[in-house]
Amino acid sequence: MARKLIAITACATGVAHTYMAEKALLKAAKKMGVLMKVETQGATGIGNKLTAKDVQIGEAVIFATDTKVRDADRFDGKKILQVNVSDPIKDAEKVINSALEAADKG
């Protein structure tokens, strides 16, 4: 059965890095056989908003952010991996593997 992760990407200005990180995570997840949904919190608002069901089935949450996550209380009780928004742009597979390890630690 495929692993399932969710993520939030957001940079300080909410423009380029937010979407570059989203694209990198989705591409790496597909390559790794991991199901992933990414919510962007950018200058134009929230894109691809995670639903309560998304949050429930996600084994862990990646916060690839350089700014405060909006509505972060939605993720109370979830394993959260906090990284800089540039980290998945540099090595998305490493970020995904770290999130899966966090999920496995219970």
Residue type, 7: A
- The verdict on whether 11 is a catalytic residue reads yes
Cβ proximity of 88 and 21 under 8 Å: yes
Would the CA dihedral through 21, 24, 30, 33 be positive or negative?
A: negative
Catalytic residue, candidates 5, 10, 11, 103: 11
CB 76 within 8 A of CB 11: no
Q: Write out the catalytic residue numbers.
A: 11
